[in-house]
Structure 1
Amino acid sequence: MGKPVPATSDTSNTLSVRDNRTGKTYEIPIEDNSIPATAFKDIKAPAAKDERPENETDKGLRIQDRGFLNTAVMRSQITYIDGEAGVLRYRGYPIEELAVHSSHLETAYLLIYGSLPTASQFRIFQDEVMHHSIVHADAEQFFRSFRYDAHPMAILTSAFAYLGSYYSEANPSLQGQTLFTKGTKESLAVMDKQIYRLIGKATTLAAMAYRVRQGREFVIPPTGLSYTGSFLYQMDHLGQEDYRPHPVLEKALDVLFLLHADHELNASATTVLQTGSSLVDPYSAIAAGCASLYGPLHGGANEAVIRMLISIGKPENVPAFIEAVKRREKVLSGFGHRVYKTSDPRSFIVRKTADEVFKVTGKDELLETAMALHEAAMKDEYFIKRKLAPNVDFCGLIYRAMGFPLDFFPVLFAVPRVVGWLAHWRQMMLQPGGVKIWRPRQIYVGSGKRAYVPVAERVAAEGPKMSPSPIEHSGISKRTMLASFRGAKAKM
């Protein structure tokens, strides 16, 4: 693969690469409009005079792709995105059709198992997910151990990892590393049970994170309600008889969950796969994905949008904000996307869902500001040239109208995304050829071999990035440093 080939070979579906260092030509096979990165390892050359040995020139070329801008790490059948055309499909089904005709749990089945379920298949799947929504009674102590002001994403991330401690049968470290990769009937059954547990308990863990912040007692998942209906019940029920969430809010949350269920190999899905490639238990892998989603460049964007709108205030302040963004004095959240270069297809569904919610809750006071910002940005050449179209993160206005606190927005993203994470994890576990641990290469540009220097002979490195930052201490730390005791450092 990638080695020099005779001139008579068929090169109709290959990439010809000439290495000008050696004069050799290599034919690299093209399959599904992609080339294997490992083929470039065969393109070797003698090291140039005075070239750093750390370049490893004689060991073959490496592919440098900072941030995975154009590197495919999986062959997947799950989600297709065309960022230029604004297309998003789950297993071939357009997101627009699923949002109208399907539900979050039915779409979860589709993403995980590859096809829309029959009535009997869906009944089994739904019953199992809802049955496995209850958590062990000891979980109450775990949640109560957090500070009253702990961020709910910190709680949820910890809770997913904590959950894995209950299920030794789901841990390949204990049951053997082929636990999930064998593909046997027994192996698939174990895998499915963890999928039921994680999807079912995701809403319960999130609701517990919500209620611990409110100082409320926890609620056992009810029977007879939908997935999102049960979630709203667990968050809001305070003992009222025959309590049922409002159907419009229940449906809106279900649609938003469906829209957020998967988005191909985004940062958090990639984190799940990176972690899962070590064959760790799925609970640890999902906890890692949850931690990745926490960041403001990913799941935290919803929260960032609302904070931005709050900082803008009224619609008349939008022009000044736009100019500040162009001067790079302010950050524009909710516009632009790593994949979508025109419009995010989910944003149109979000807009329709918002209208339905606002009829019940009343319009959010920031809506006019958001619309003014949208209109101004779409007409401004600065944003048009950079293809900064509005994206799905404006669904935060819906969450705000429904009464969710700002810092709970990422949780509302994480709960449905558990489905996509599990779909990709399951696909990787069952892929032909087994699982290879993900171990990317690096381009080493640091120092060459250096001799150890005794401390008395060292010269301090210059620059703010070359030494640790001093910390200003106060309170008990400062008083302790001033105190005298055995072993205390001599005071200067």
Structure 2
Amino acid sequence: MTTTKGLEGVVATQSAISSIIDDTLTYVGYDIDDLANNASFEEVIYLLWHQRLPKTDELAELKQQLADNMAVPQGVLDQFKMFPIDQVHPMSALRTAVSSLGLYDEKAEDMSEEANYEKAIKLQAKVATIVTAFSRIRKGLEPIAPKPELGYAANFLYMLNGDEPEEIAIEAFDKALVLHADHELNASTFTARVCVATLSDIYSGVTAAIGALKGPLHGGANEQVMKMLMEIGEEEKVESYIREKLDNKEKIMGFGHRVYRNGDPRAKHLREMSKRLTALRGEEKWYNMSTKIEGIVTGEKKLPPNVDFYSASVYHSLGIDHDLFTPIFAVSRFSGWIAHILEQYSNNRLIRPRADYVGPGMQKYVPIDQR
């Protein structure tokens, strides 16, 4: 056996969902640039789940199904009010709430293809409501019911803030959802597949994935990027702050990616959206600071920004609380997790790798009074 730390370079399965080849990300063969510029998030959900783009009636049906299933059981919402709100990270709340959803689904243990697709719709619909409801409840506000006539991205922003969002906000958020929807066998997706490969239910698979996404080396990076920008505060402080970090060999969040050699192809879309949104809000400094940081880090370390770096200033410009950045990542990535879970179910084999043992050799048990 050969050992590869972090499974880097190991091909663990075959998949028809997404690919990263020569720094090009595709969903079912469609270049991410093409989808980011043209497709809605709902189209991408359908694409990932069905391996083709929807026709007009199919897209309308999916939108209706999502709208019809956004309501969350009251018991799930009530538990938020029991949490120590000032201590709970929204990702922890999301993890608990999604797990709880399975308790209210009479088909939770039904492993038929039809039942699993129904659960897929419910999960994708309800995750938006869970994240926005928690955000409001922890502020002492009541959750807002979705509007059936709004699309997925617009409904999320509406349920979060209570006002119907402007078109540029919808465009920015929808584009971010498209860009984050899937990313081959990333840590959380692999976690989901390992979980359901035991034939555990879809709620368990998604809950496991949320746990993996919560870490700062995966989904938590964009929150850390905004924390860094806030610590710097002003454009003229960028140079000294970043150079001190580099001199101390500290990691700058939002740069580099294990699977890309020449840069994350998703980053440029959020870079442009950050430029537009910060200018619209009169807060260009966040974009200007980000470009200065990019210039230094990429120039010094040859590390280009990844998708997390500019998503931070985009979400901030949309008025989203910083600790909601990772849950929003999850809202999008539910589509990819579910696609991989359904694919795993369709051609399943238990995922059970081996470990290269490096501990002591054969030992003899010694009675406790002789140790």
| Aligned partner of 2:194 among 274, 285, 293 | 274
Q: From 214, 228, 234, give the equivalent of 1:314.
A: 234
Query: Distance in 1 between the 2:243 and 2:274 partners?
Result: 28
Q: What is the TM-score normalised by the length of structure 1?
A: 0.72
Q: 1:321, 1:330 within 8 Å by CA — same for their partners in 2?
A: no
Structure 1 residue corresponding to 2:89, chosen from 148, 151, 170: 151
Letter in 2 for 1:223: P
State the Cα deviation string for residues 337-359 of structure 1 (Å, max 9, x = none): 11111121111111222233224
In the alignment, the residues of structure 1 paired with residue 51 and residue 284 of structure 2 have an alpha-carbon distance, to the nearest angstrom, of 38
2:61 corresponds to 1:124: yes
Q: Which residue of 1 aligns with 2:327?
A: 411
The equivalent position to 1:75 in structure 2, one of 4, 11, 14, is 14
The percent identity for this pair of structures is: 33
Residue 221 of structure 1: how far off its partner (Å): 2.0
User: What is the rounded CA distance, in whole Å, between the counterparts of 1:429 and 1:420 in structure 2?
Assistant: 14
Using the size of structure 2 for normalisation, the TM-score is 0.94
CA contact (8 A) 1:91 1:111 kept: yes
Match of 2:41 in 1: 104
- Deviation string 1:221-276 (CA, Å, 9 cap, x unpaired) is 22211111111121122xxxxx4222211221111001000011100000100111
1:360 is the counterpart of 2:298: no
Partner of 1:393: 308
Corresponding position: 1:255 with 2:175: yes
Pick the aligned partner of 1:437 from 342, 347, 350: 350
- Aligned residue type for 1:428: Q
Q: Which runs of 5+ in 2 are unaligned?
A: none
- Distance (Å, rounded) in 2 between the aligned partners of 1:226 and 1:286: 23
Aligned residues: 369
Shift of 1:323: 3.4
**Structure 1: gaps spanning 5 or more residues:** 1-61, 180-186, 238-242, 459-492
1:229-240 matches, within 5 Å, as: 229-237=154-162
Partner of 1:114: 51
TM-fit CA distance, 1:452: 3.4
Matching residue of 1:477: none
In 2, distance between residues paired with 1:68 and 1:99?
30
Letter in 2 for 1:442: A
Aligned to 2:364, which of 451, 454, 458? 451
**Alpha-carbon offset, residue 413 of structure 1:** 0.5
CA RMSD of aligned residues (A): 1.7
Relative contact order higher in (CA < 8 Å, ≥ 6 apart): 2
Counterpart in the other structure of 1:88: 25
8 A contact 2:182–2:335 mirrored in 1 = yes
Q: 1:38-90: CA deviations, max 9, x gaps?
A: xxxxxxxxxxxxxxxxxxxxxxxx232221112111111111112xx431111
In 2 relative to 1, CA 300–67 (structure 1 residues): closer, same or farther, beyond 3 Å? same
Q: Are 1:267 and 1:292, in contact at CA under 8 Å, matched by a contact in 2?
A: yes
Alignment CA distance shift 1:296-1:364 (3 Å): farther
Of Structure 1 and Structure 2, which has the larger fraction of its residues in helix? 2
Contact 1:364 1:401 in 2 (8 A): no
Q: Would you say the 8 A contact 1:364–1:400 is kept in 2?
A: no
Label 1:322 to 1:139 Cα distance change in 2 as closer, same or farther (>3 A).
Answer: closer
Q: CA deviation at 1:296?
A: 0.3
